[in-house]
Structure 1
Amino acid sequence: MRVPTDNSVDWTTQYGWYMDLPDSGERVISPAVILGEAVFFNTVVPDSQICGFGGSGWLMGVDLENGGELDEPAFDVNNDGVINNADYLTQSGV
């Protein structure tokens, strides 16, 4: 799980926000999709072996205005067919 920051954007001096992708070689290679106040995009993390295949990636959903955490859940995490507060992920520790 990744938790984005909610840094404010000063639109008088900045053109928008950006996100540092933490995994080595990670990149976005397809267009983002905007739905309401959210932007969704996939990232790709290539295999660490130069001739390897596969890899991994993330499906990201962030606030359109600042690239931060969404105010409401965006995915049916508990698979009950409803997107609601029961779909919030919690994490503890470091």
Structure 2
Amino acid sequence: MLWYKTSATGKRDSDVEKWGWMVDLPRNGEKMVYDMTLYGRGLFLTSVRTSEDPCAAGMSGTIYGIDPNGGGRTDYVVFDMNGDGVFTAADAIGGGQVNGTETGAGRQTIRGERIFDPTANAEKRVNHGLQFGRQSWRKQPPN
């Protein structure tokens, strides 16, 4: 995934007609048809794809969480893959961080650390990546 310029006639930002995201989706036939959603520190996009079998009915999808600043992987665990309610290294699959998970076809809604997927039986949890409370201490200098 990368942020790129299109129809550039020069090398300055003012020469660029449009800036935009180019996303290489990993599955055959995968399409992004909904707007992206900013949730906490992550940018979420939902893809849909039809069955590879032309005689089969139905669609499926994937929701991805990416870093909105660089367009790549986030620096925090995005999805609770093992369903234990916390976002830790235990949510990795094959030793790697997961930044996309299967969903039903259609637009997914994210609220309160949950993905609302009308086609799923199980609840999926998503991390906003924000930290609350005191982040560090700093000693005040004497008056």
TM-score with structure 2 setting the length: 0.48
Task: Give 1 or 2 for the bigger CA radius of gyration.
Answer: 2
The unaligned stretches of length 5 or more in structure 1 are none
* 2:90 is the alignment partner of 1:86: yes
* 2:60 is the alignment partner of 1:56: yes
Query: Which shows bigger deviation, 13-22 or 43-52?
Result: 13-22
**Higher RCO (C-alpha 8 Å, min separation 6):** 1
Deviation at 1:51, TM superposition (A): 4.5
In structure 2, the partner of 1:66 is 70
In structure 2, the partner of 1:22 is 26
Flag the structure with higher strand content: 2
Cα RMSD, aligned residues only: 2.6
Whether the aligned pair in 2 keeps the contact of 1:18 and 1:67 (CA below 8 Å) is no
TM-score with structure 1 setting the length: 0.68
Deviation at 1:10, TM superposition (A): 7.6
Instruction: Give me the identity figure in percent.
Output: 32
In structure 1, the partner of 2:81 is 77
User: Are residues 72 and 64 of structure 1, via their aligned partners in 2, closer, same or farther at CA, if it must alter by over 3 Å?
Assistant: same
